[in-house]
Amino acid sequence: MPRDQLELGRALYDVVDGHLRYDKTGEGWGRGDALWAYRSRCGNCTDFHSLFISLARSKGLPARFEIGFRLPEERGEGEVSGYCCWARFKPDGRGWVPVSISEANKDPARRDHHFGNLSEDRVLFSVGRDLTLVPRQDGPPLNFFVYPYAEVDGKPIPPELIQHWFAYQDVR
């Protein structure tokens, strides 16, 4: 039994890492549906961290969802392939502790590192779920916000119709 909320966070991190495997095949992954992730036992980073956040909050441990991009380790310039997300939890008397459970699952040798640490190559884009934009969108709250969102006459444009491309370039 965990002695404090930091240990509780680690126990939940271990439970999620042991229960899920990083796998983006099939359908249903990527929505951040904690119940789906629990039942399917797989998913992407959104699914891992939704399950962690749900478990943490059920135990009274504040937790939040963060999403952005991971830049390649290679320096210079290039394309950013897609989003990356992680979670943070806030044990009593401490600041927000980051966890990247899906990265730990993909690279078990760095499992301990991904509890309490984020690599320097992350760019935070937004925090939370069920987001309302400013100015407020006419459509429903956004599950998460990392890719462009557009409306025409108060109706959301389907994401697959919006072209986007992200790149990075080191500057000196």
CATH number for the domain harbouring residue 59 = 3.10.620.30
Is 139 part of any domain? no
146 close to 46: Cβ distance less than 8 angstroms: no
Report pLDDT for 76.
87
pLDDT value at position 171?
86
Answer yes or no: is pLDDT of 133 > 90: yes
Residue with tokens 């990083």: 22
* Predicted structure pTM score: 0.92
Whole-number average pLDDT of the chain: 94
- Whether 27 is covered by a domain: the verdict is yes
Q: Which long-range contacts (CB under 8 A, 24 or more apart) does 41-45 make?
A: 44/102, 45/83, 45/84, 45/85, 45/86, 45/100, 45/101, 45/102, 45/103
Q: Is the pLDDT at 114 greater than 90, yes or no?
A: yes
> Is 140 a member of any domain?
no
Name the one residue in this structure whose structure tokens are 């992954």: 29
Residue 124 — very low, low, confident or very high, per pLDDT cuts 50/70/90? very high
Query: Mean pLDDT over residues 114-139, rounded?
Result: 94
H/E segment holding residue 35:
helix 34-40
Token pair of 24 as six digits? 């983006």
pLDDT band at 172 (very low <50, low <70, confident <90, very high): confident
Which residue type sits at 57? R
- Give a yes or no: residue 168 inside a domain: no
Q: pLDDT by residue (tens digit) across 10-48? A: 999 999 999 999 999 999 999 999 999 999 999 999 999
Position 1 pLDDT exceeds 80: no
With beta carbons less than 8 A apart as the criterion, state whether 68 and 123 touch. Answer: yes
According to DSSP, residue 142 is labeled B
Residue 135 lies in a domain: no
Q: Is residue 132 part of a domain?
A: no
Quote the percentage of the chain above a pLDDT of 70: 100
User: Does residue 107 lie within any of the structural domains?
Assistant: yes
- Reduce the DSSP state of residue 124 to 3 states and report it: strand
> Do residues 171 and 77 make contact, with C-beta atoms less than 8 angstroms apart?
no
91 prior amide bond cis, ω within 30: no
Which range marks the domain in which residue 46 is found?
5-127
Total domains, the chain: 1
Q: Please report whether residue 148 resides in a domain.
A: no
Give 39-88 pLDDT, tens digit per residue: 999 999 999 999 999 999 999 999 999 999 988 877 789 889 889 999 99
Adjacent-strand bridge partners of 89: 63, 97
